[in-house]
Chain A
Amino acid sequence: MTNIDKNTPADKMTIGGNIYEAGNAREFKTGDWRSVRPEYIPEKCIQCGLCFPVCPEDAIPVGGDQKRTDFNYDYCKGCGVCAKVCPFGAIVMKTEGEEE
């Protein structure tokens, strides 16, 4: 875990602003940006893969079996690109906070 924050004193910060934990942005959750959320309907999904690479947030987990699972809402910003490319209606966009 990255242990630098707004309380870190000067002598405990990394030199020059270097970061030695590559990919640690995963600790920064962007899901709270979302105002609309995609909902995954597995029954309609044929695992065509069209939605896999279009997600700017890498919030569609794809397993070693080449199959996707439900969205990673820690990161999904709700852009809706995935829903738009899905030809099977397996992703629908809903306003955040609305009942399912």
Chain B
Amino acid sequence: MAYNMKEIVAQKPSRFTSGHRMCAGCGAPPVARMILRALKPEDHAVIANATGCMEVSSFIYPYTAWTDSYIHTAFECAAATLSGAEAAYKSMKKQGKLPNDEHTKFIAFGGDGGTYDIGIQSLSGAMERGHDMTYVCYDNGAYMNTGIQRSSATPKFADTTTSPAGSVIPGKMQSRKDLTEIMEAHHLPYVAQTIAYMNFKDLYEKAEKAIYTEGPTFLNVLSPCPRGWGYPTEDLMTINKLAVETCYWPLYEIENGKYKITYKPAKKLPIEEFLKPQKRFRHMFKPGNEWMIEEFQKEVDRRWEDLLRLEEMSNKE
């Protein structure tokens, strides 16, 4: 069935409600909401959430913004926690302890801190064990909940509170980890990288595939943080667009090892377009720092070209 955003929004009620306390203009709630809309209305979901912005703002006792079952335990173990719930489901279903006609899907949400860094072991373990679950990383490129500390998802040169742009060291000196590729190295049936762009079509379709592909699946979703990135809240969708159109955040999926780039910009925009509106990169635009932008561009190009090659190679007969 062709994607029809208006129909989806009109017919599938939000499973992540109003009344949560994420910051105004946060990129994560629209992402979580659209991913949950990819669930069949008749299906129940168990959601596990790593400690982070999303968790501390969506379930502040005694109010929960989740209409499905939800569990938060700690920072690094959303995947392991959910793997336990999924194992319980399998076991109880097998023993006839749960209704036969009900289906439960398992979805984890973690920020980049809880996924790229402290939670990577738990995630890797759960994925390797083959639990039937979807892990969603909403990647905002730093530890935003604790006040914008660098993570391994933070892009090079970004000014964070633990990689400040100083007079000697100009921000974070390392490039970001490519978690999507690390997840692909687990040879999962479905891995995708996406964002809220173009009417959320890419996000919705990938979420639907991930949730309804049997086995462990992974979604990496770039999710801008106006506070941590330093742009006006209203620019959320512009930032998303620039992340994609500059190829900073390529949209692609890998189904059983086959790469498919789901959007190729007709004309790749220079990386400055993405960097310039964000205060965390402001120092890169000072006279004498042109090399930083050049280097950043080179890295983006290299990764994009690698991706093009992977797509070509993996689709060769």
- Contact assessment for B26 and A63 in the assembled complex, using a CB-CB cutoff below 8 Å: no
Tell me the nearest residue of chain B to A23, going by C-beta: B67
Measured CA separation A65–B11 after assembly (Å): 9
Which A residues, 42 to 69, have Cβ-Cβ distances below 8 Å to chain B?
A: 47, 49-50, 52-59, 62-66
Given known pairs A25-B63, A28-B19, A50-B199, the reply for A56 and B30 (CB within 8 Å) is yes
Shortest distance between the CB of B167 and any CB in chain A (Å): 34
Shortest distance between the CB of A74 and any CB in chain B (Å): 7
Q: For chain A, what secondary structure do more than half of its interface residues adopt (helix, strand, loop), or is it mixed?
A: loop
Measured CA separation A2–B59 after assembly (Å): 13
Given known pairs A53-B33, A56-B25, A64-B10, the reply for A27 and B237 (CB within 8 Å) is no
Which B residues, 77 to 122, have Cβ-Cβ distances below 8 Å to chain A?
A: none
- Contact assessment for A62 and B17 in the assembled complex, using a CB-CB cutoff below 8 Å: no
> B252-293 toward A: CB 8 Å interface, digit per residue (1/0)?
000000000000000000000000000000000000000000
Tell me the nearest residue of chain B to A79, going by C-beta: B25
- Contact assessment for B236 and A19 in the assembled complex, using a CB-CB cutoff below 8 Å: no
Q: Which of B9, B22, B236 meets A52, CB within 8 Å?
A: B9
Q: Which A residues are within 8 Å of any B CB, using their own CB?
A: 2, 4-5, 14, 17, 19, 21-30, 33-34, 47, 49-50, 52-59, 62-66, 72, 74-75, 77-81, 83-85, 93
What are 6 A-B pairs at a CB distance below 8 A?
Answer: A24-B62, A47-B6, A50-B199, A56-B30, A74-B18, A79-B226
